[in-house]
Chain A
Amino acid sequence: MTTVTKRGPWTIWKDVIFALFAREIRTGFNDKFGLSWAVVNPIVFIFVLSFIRGRLSGGETHTMPTFTFMAIGILFIQSFLQTMGSAARSINKNKSLFAFRQVQPISAVLACVLFELLVKIFVIMGVVLVMYFMNIEIQISDPLLLLSCFLLLWMLGVALGLLFGIAELFISEIGKIRGLITRPLFFISGVFFSLQDFPKEYWHFLDWNPILHAIELTRYSVYSTYGNEGVSLNYLSGIVLIITFFSLSVYQVSWKQAISR
């Protein structure tokens, strides 16, 4: 007899997230490239852009190799955009699974963003490997700051993705708006430039953006000579905390109605 074990809420969560995670890996990449595409694709993108930019502008940008400068920018903006996008999409995509009362929208989001996190870790390893073969100096002066920036940005992506995912169940057009407003982020988040390249009196146009803070702080964490003027970890973590709190509150209040439409 196959008995159903009586599970506590945490165990149910764990089981469901694991099941969804396995499903995500199995179904997300069904062609011959398989899972490797998720890792190879961003590495190639980062490599090409960073390499060209490095060639164009000479070896160094604000005391750090241009390749590293660019690689950090693209890696971070991509990890933010992709985490947010797939978190938002995961809710709608797994809608049919909410027929099982054990599966809640947030489990789908968590399974999906954990997968993204894993992929990004492999991408980072790949980029570091490429840098090693290109004889680019690899150094980290503040690993803890690097890690916190990466995880905070990931969390920001998760929180905003959850918020958008829930909102899109109510009004599906929000999905299109999300695509529209996330596109400029690539250009205003300091991926191709540093805040230091701008005169101070114009900083207020840019420095509201927590992604810019995360990227600039990460560059600082790798090369302390890069400087951290104008950006702060407190601001970044404050914003992430507020948005996460807000997003979880909205979720808690509205998820039952959101999947009952």
Chain B
Amino acid sequence: MIRLENITKYYPSKLGKQYIFKDLSFDIPSGHNIGILGSNGAGKSTLFRLLAGSEYPNKGKIITDLSLSWPVALTTGIHQQMTGRENTRFIGRVNGIADLDEYERRVIKFAELGEKFDLPVKSYSSGMKPRLAFACSIGIDFDVYLIDEVTSVGDAKFRKKAKEALLERSEKANVIMVSHEMKEIRQFCDSAIVLHKGELTFYNDLEQGIERYQAL
């Protein structure tokens, strides 16, 4: 379970503080693959970054004993000038992987970049970068994977593979994902959190959540 306690989060702007969340308390239940639904600017990515510890709330705290991945977006932490291999090792080191070589092999196998793995990332096609980013995160055993629209860029084959990898781990691991494509969400998730005007609502049944979201 991930518990949000009295979270207040705002961004300063010319027009004063832009509140995303005001004194929000919420428990995100574990054991579910959750899709986060919300309109543009509702704060999906902010919620994500708060969960991952990439940003900190202005007030309140987030308590969990699960290990969460970083928010896996298209190119998080990937340097354009470095090769796929160097990027992989960097991410592995930062996350404290015990056996870097084994991790590298796992990423190679999953990302299927072939010899491009040893070329700078800037030479990758737009579909290959997220494949690397996703492979880097799935190569580490987290309890919860935070996925931000990564899977939607890949081709059908990659998507199938991503799904299988997550299913394979589904007894121990879960996914929380953001996507605007309902097809995506249906493929990976079984329940939903709808984010609207700084309030979170959990729907055990995904279809119910999507219905609510589309009615917004």
Contact = CB atoms under 8 A, between A and B. Distances in A.
Contact of B98 (A5, A12, A100, A101): A5
Interface in B76-91: 76-77, 79, 81-82, 86, 89-91
B103 A2 contact: yes
A23 B90 contact: yes
Contacts of A260: 9, 55-58
A182 interface: no
Given A27-B79, A99-B70, A261-B11, A12 B56 contact: no
A4 B81 contact: no
Nearest to B48: A99
A18 B93 contact: yes
Interface residues of B, number: 38
Contacts of A256: 56
B11 A98 contact: no
A7 B98 CA distance: 10
Contacts of A100: 54, 70, 77, 91, 94-95
A256 to B, nearest CB: 4
Contacts of A11: 96
B65 interface: no
A19 B89 CA distance: 8
Interface in B96-144: 96-99, 102-103, 106, 139-142
A38 interface: no
Contact of B93 (A19, A99, A259): A19
A30 B96 contact: no
A102 interface: yes
B209 interface: no
B96 A5 contact: yes
A103 interface: yes
Interface in A14-57: 15-16, 18-19, 22-23, 26-27, 30
A3 B70 contact: no
A114 interface: no
B96 A101 contact: no
A3 B100 CA distance: 10
Contacts of B70: 99-101
A2 B106 contact: yes
A1 interface: yes
B97 A2 contact: yes
Contacts of B35: none
Contacts, number: 91
Interface size range of chain A in the complex: 20 to 34
Nearest to B46: A260
A135 interface: no
A99 B54 contact: yes
Contacts of B3: none
A99 B94 contact: no
Given A2-B141, A23-B82, A27-B79, A257 B93 contact: no
A97 B98 contact: no
B94 A27 contact: no
A252 interface: no
A259 B67 CA distance: 21
B29 interface: no
A256 B62 CA distance: 14
Nearest to B107: A2
Contacts of B12: 261
A2 B94 contact: no
Nearest 6 A-B pairs (CB), nearest first? A101-B53, A19-B93, A260-B55, A256-B56, A99-B54, A2-B103
Interface of A: 1-5, 7, 11-12, 15-16, 18-19, 22-23, 26-27, 30, 96-103, 256-257, 259-261
7 contacts: A2-B99, A3-B99, A100-B91, A101-B53, A102-B95, A102-B96, A260-B57
Given A2-B99, A2-B103, 12 more contacts: A2-B102, A3-B99, A4-B67, A4-B141, A19-B89, A22-B90, A97-B94, A99-B70, A99-B76, A100-B54, A260-B9, A261-B11
